[in-house]
Amino acid sequence: MFNQYDLEEIRDRARAAFVGMAIGDALGATVEFMTASEIAAKYGTFRDIIGGGWLRLKPGQVTDDTEMALCIARAIVKNQTWSLLAVADNFAAWLKSRPVDCGDTCRKGIRAYLLNGQLESPPNEWDAGNGAAMRILPAVLFSLPDDELLKKYVIEQAHITHNNPVSDAACICLGQLLHLALCGAGKTRLRRQVDGLVTRFPTFTFEPYRGLATGYVVDTMQTVFHWFFRGKSFKECLVGTVNQGADADTTGAICGMLAGAYYGMDAIPKRWLKRMDGKVIAEIEIMADRLITASPAGRRM
């Protein structure tokens, strides 16, 4: 059972995970599709939320990573239960709104739902992108600390667009890491969880680190694991991750949610927080609180 102190700490970590995801998204989007050497030549070490990039974003503007996570969060909070149909409806409405960006696999899966009501994409060996993992945080918060609910929710939302065993493994492992971090586990315990993933799926091996940060979920997670375990602070984890370039908004978002859950709100640099869209951050903080309140952990109090 959680005591009141534990639950308040979990709420703080949940807010930090959601805010950290948005910050990582906004920070990384500026250098998305650049190489590490191109980033170094232009910025030295890139460490500021300035917008721009190939999407010509405003400073602090988020992309599909955060927007799709909010689609899931709103569906859960509105219905006060897990409804895959509500999640898919929100994805569909989001896609119709002409978002600033949407990955090809996400677009394909959402269009299949719009056209024929398909809630589960057929298995596809090529659908091992990071688009399912980047948006799992609301499902993680709502399932805390139930591992079976975690697996059900993260895989069901994933399969709307990504039905692939490597993507599934990444989603489950990331969800379990977030559950552990939210409950205060140390990095040694988190590393054991990742070692278990690598044992089952050796393709996720990240030592030695190959320096790839593409949209392939293996490259994405190797980058996140490398910089999260190497970093000594929220800022250090995130700066290292996004300076790898490539799919930097998504590697940044995933590292941001994990580092946020681990380090908590006080560790997030205030100057980054001030650069973010205030409305987005306000909604994110409300959603994080409501998801924890509705979770098994919140209902036990």
pLDDT in tens, 37-70: 999 999 999 999 999 999 999 999 999 999 999 9
Which token pair is 210? 């190959």
Question: 296 and 31 in contact (C-beta within 8 Å)?
Answer: no
Which token pair is 124? 């596809």
Question: 93 and 110 in contact (C-beta within 8 Å)?
Answer: no
Q: Quote the DSSP letter at residue 246.
A: S
Question: 259 and 231 in contact (C-beta within 8 Å)?
Answer: yes
At 148-162, the pLDDT tens digits run 999 999 999 999 999
Residue pointed to by tokens 């941001």: 256
State if pTM tops 0.85: yes
Bridge partners (DSSP) of residue 164 are none
Q: What are the backbone dihedrals phi and psi of residue 115, each rounded to the nearest 5 degrees, phi first? A: -80, -40
Size of the chain, expressed as the number of residues it contains: 301
Which token pair is 229? 């375990």
As averages over each run of 10 residues, the pLDDT of the chain (301 residues) reads: 75 98 98 98 98 97 98 98 98 97 97 97 96 98 98 98 98 98 98 98 97 98 98 98 98 98 98 97 98 93 64
